Structure 1
């Protein structure tokens, strides 16, 4: 499809989204949705830790009462790895369900996405993993129905076209992205998040906040080169007026409700609005994209040696995704603030900074301080040093971040090896 040579930059906003059912008790409509889709045999991919709260058994009853045959896979790894994903794929290829249901956080939903992809189409992980780490092949065609029921308010994975996984030998996180990966339907029931403990709630909530801020400050869609063929348009197109609406609202809800959700886990109003914030941010960044904090998060999570986060039921070192993102955010946004000070100043004001009468550049710099204050309030570690990193880790952290070119291109300010080293150094300790 030839483009007008007089329009060298992008002019089209491509917004893809997922149908949503939101509200207290929305899980009860799962059976109806399966029947509506004509599903007779489904696989439930679940976080096994949810069994202690009765959530897995509740969904099993709902599905079977709808006359749908159900199998359950609950060997999901917190922060999926290539090893855990391949084990899950093998199970899906063996059982070949007609549809997938996922119940859990982003790890569970992403695992179900991978099971769906690789039980529908042939191939290995490396075939679809984003370049330059993988081959970045496009997904050949549509997948089977997938209904996602999130139990955390964080990744927004129920709305996104991305699978994130940890490559163990390379010690780096990466992803697979394609619009066919996006779930068929999201059922968002805030009651499913009540069992989420405080630090898990905090880390997931910070992921929401970073999704929204990074998307809102990302390099605009209309400064990118125009695509010759719509099929070549990336999933992440840059900030745009449509995604901005979703992300700005998500930031407002995080500012108002994240502290309440952490300090009072049974606050249904706070849980409901954080669930909405997660979904809104997912719709926003799922189209516009993230940038430096998320790119930096992948090696931070992948190179962990001895950090065990509170409230996470794990038997191996782990930096939860939301923590690996927010730990870099103050330093990263201080770096990007000069590139788009008006946007950064606006976010600072939403987070509670009194910016009236303040020079816009000073207000933009205040965003980093507002995020640091929220981190301190919610007990987030004081920089990378408290996760076990030091100056000697800088080369590896920078190298791992440079591999994330898919999202680094969304930064409003160009960033390379030298700049990333400075940002990581600034993120070592904050207060």
Structure 2
């Protein structure tokens, strides 16, 4: 029998206004001077200003690094790590969406390393090169319900020199304490709520369809999809619904927990267009989802029918599930074709197909993939034609 490694999340403080406990989280981890890492937009927001005030009232003065961009770069991480050391920080509060969380985790990691960040790409046992004792403690505070980076052991960082998004991995990337507070997501615009929600769906869906033996991840992924089915549309149409926001935050964390089992071609196709065309990751995942599903049909049909049963869909068939995805995207006012967000002249299919095949997510796809397969899926996503 093949051997597997199963890992599960960390301490999670969940509920309305749990951000009020952020100073307690620092004290719990013996963090006296944290660096709060976020993007510039959030740095100007009420929720970040309130968080800094809560920390100050608790006797903790935090430094702030907010140069994070939407598709975070190695420069963001290096700048953040330098700022961390310059301010004599002793821990990181990673605050925001996937970009803020990924950079925050990577800053905590790189603050104690001498090798370049790219030496720790998630290939083989690269992570063992790190000095584990020098990795700073991390508190993660997500403000979107999508990436689930708060329960992940990796960060996705763009290498500006190569134009490739690299997955940087280490077990200690996993935050020590996660604060899931739905109040922090209430102000998220409807379009971003929709895109991040589809990202969470892609994580749960691809994890469930990935080959390998991990029934616990399968169970989490199924329930994550049920929560998304029940609450995503409500969170988008009524952003002040705290129950909907809480359930979507939970589903996002569940997706990241489940995809330790693997991802697949939805992510393989997404990462290159995120890097080269600056398309939002959740949006690209939503676009690619039905093309990858129909491409993989012959090996995932039985699994998809089980999802239909669990979601209690009216049409409990493979086509019924694909139609559910298409209908959900339509209700969320999301594009069906990649050509709706990328101009043909900016679409380098040869380069994209090579990058997609080399993406670490490719290995988790239910069907073995070739560069031609990637090209065909890209072409279909541009024309809007699903596989028959």
Q: Is the TM-score greater than 0.5?
A: yes
- 1:206 corresponds to: 198
- 1:268 corresponds to: 242
- 2:305 corresponds to: 345
Question: Does the alignment pair 1:301 with 2:274?
Answer: yes
Query: Is the partner of 1:75 in helix, strand or coil?
Result: strand
The number of equivalent residue pairs is 383
Change in Cα spacing, 1:209 to 1:411, as seen in structure 2 (3 Å) is same
Residues 14-54 of structure 1: CA deviation (Å, up to 9, x unaligned):
22311101100111111112122222211111233235541
Specify which of 267, 289, 292 is matched with residue 332 of structure 1.
Answer: 292
TM-score, scaled to structure 2: 0.93
- 1:224 corresponds to: none
Query: Is the partner of 1:428 in helix, strand or coil?
Result: helix
Aligned partners of 1:166, 1:192: CA distance in 2, in Å? Answer: 27
Contact 1:46–1:102, Cα closer than 8 Å, also in 2? yes
Following superposition of structure 1 onto structure 2, how do residues 350-361 of structure 1 map, counting pairs within 5 Å? 350=310, 353-356=313-316
Contact 2:95–2:104, Cα closer than 8 Å, also in 1? no
Question: Does the alignment pair 1:140 with 2:143?
Answer: no
Contact 1:188–1:275, Cα closer than 8 Å, also in 2? yes
Aligned partners of 1:148, 1:136: CA distance in 2, in Å? Answer: 21
TM-score, scaled to structure 1: 0.84
- What's the offset of the Cα at 1:382? 2.4
Contact 1:102–1:146, Cα closer than 8 Å, also in 2? yes
- What's the offset of the Cα at 1:90? 2.3
Question: Does the alignment pair 1:256 with 2:256?
Answer: no
Specify which of 352, 364, 382 is matched with residue 336 of structure 2.
Answer: 382
Query: Is the partner of 1:277 in helix, strand or coil?
Result: helix
- 2:380 corresponds to: 426
Aligned partners of 2:73, 2:43: CA distance in 1, in Å? Answer: 22
Residues 341-393 of structure 1: CA deviation (Å, up to 9, x unaligned):
2111223455664235xxxxxx2243333212211111112211112254963
- 2:356 corresponds to: 401
Give the alignment's Cα RMSD to 1 decimal: 2.1
Aligned partners of 2:297, 2:355: CA distance in 1, in Å? Answer: 23
Aligned partners of 1:135, 1:34: CA distance in 2, in Å? Answer: 30
- What's the offset of the Cα at 1:170? 2.5
